[in-house]
Structure 1
Amino acid sequence: MSRAQCGSRSSFDTRDRLTDRLFLDLRRGEVSSRTDVLERIVRLYLPLCSTMARRYDGKGIELDDLVQVARYGLLKAIERYEPGLGRSFAAYAVPTISGELKRHFRDRAWVVRPPRRIQELRTEVTATRAELEQRLGRSATEHEIAEALDLAADDLQELALAMSCFRPTSIDAAIAGDGLAESAATLPYEDGGFEFVEDHACLSRELAKLDARSRRLLALRYGDELTQREIAALLGMTQMQVSRALARILLGLRTAFAIEDHDRSA
């Protein structure tokens, strides 16, 4: 054992002995000192929480959130721990904190939640991969992992696809090979303008049949949004003449559209 390992082991033993004394004080202490004792225990194991949280960093959840989850697991371990049962508090706290972190991933980390079978398979594959790589001294192949778990290749492919549920690709990401285009540009979308294509074609056809004066009246009223009084002053007409002319033009267009609709439905 190296000097560093001996020093580390010695510091752990010191921490365990101090923890045992604090839990003893917690059991027989007065209520007024309980908070202080609990705080001392928590402070002793905050580094452990940070270390365990970092094991899960980079998997779709912010490290600060993971640290908070680990600390919550620590509080649960303190609440449930029974001193004198043959296990140190650290040995009891580690699986409790780990379980809380895994539970948090199971319940919160999936942006798109896959079936529970896939979630459980991911855990099995992760553990088996680590075991194989330690035994083989190299990266394990998908075939070796599938053989060890008696899985079909399709199961591993489905799991690989499900891994994107942790952190899906942003639609704002640039498409490979084209730094200007974004993934969003390839997504289908519904263009509401298509439903008016036939109406626009029919309207253009009917407007072409109007005389220049009628087209100008429509342009001034509905393009430039002038009032009938303003149009009358501009064209040297009375407001009544403008009103009657516009009514006659619109009636003709409505009639043309009605005939078009009837022919299409026939």
Structure 2
Amino acid sequence: MSMASTVPTESTQYGTHQADMAELGLPYVECPGDVAPKDAREISRIFFVRLAELEEGTHEHQYVRNTLIELNLALVRYAATRFRNRSDQMEDIVQVGTIGLIKAIDRFELSREVEFATFAVPYIVGEIKRFFRDTSWAVHVPRRLQELRIDLAKATDELSQRLDRAPTTAELAEYLNLDENEVIEGVVASNGYTAGSIDMPTDDTAESSSKLSDRLGAPDAQLEAAENVQALKPLIDELDEREKWILQMRFGAEMTQSEIGQELGVSQMHVSRLLSRITGRLREGLLAVE
């Protein structure tokens, strides 16, 4: 591995960081962002070994961590290429991806015996996808309507100031040179930009307003349990007396497998196999009934 362009020779005049890294036994990387990917992997491995030995919060630890971030920014740029169709957001994508890189560096351990790139890319991509999830539309709508929402928002602000009131649909249509139906379609689509929480109060004016979730129905857990019991009864009736006794001891008397084994005069392992076989038959029958 050649590090001539990034690691100073002995004749180089070291600055503060160079001297510190020499004491730590680490190469000084003058421009981490310019290091070739292959060299970056090798240098990163050296720095990860040292990072694990340094105390968090120290100057040396911070330097090693920051250098690792800069060395591996190429991983962020690589992951960002998956989202090239969002070129207008590329700067935000790289910034968010860098957060994922930092998380990966803080959680990486050489004992995992995997390449850091293999470990880090899922963190980076996951952080980018989370960014889109949190900042994108709650409901997917066509790009045309997304752009119309922005135009409507600007037009509404402009006309509200000019008219000193909220503009009508006809006024918005005239201002934007659109058909009224198009304006209505855009307004309806705008409702999909954000999703309201069911925990929001139904009446903002009331001091103790109820939540929407309080008015929503929910599945009755007891009803499902009753259905399962009724479905299990004929299946249990098909078991022999010994199998029924084992079920009664395990799930009725809540005895351990060892206690059941002592009662039957068999090993705990044999009881485990019997229970697996019995419950497996019941499960198959129950699924068939459903």
Q: Same fold (TM over 0.5)?
A: no
**Which protein has the bigger helix share?**
1
Q: Which of 1 and 2 has greater Rg?
A: 1
TM-score when normalising by structure 2: 0.37
The one of the two structures with greater contact order (alpha-carbon pairs below 8 A, sep at least 6) is: 1
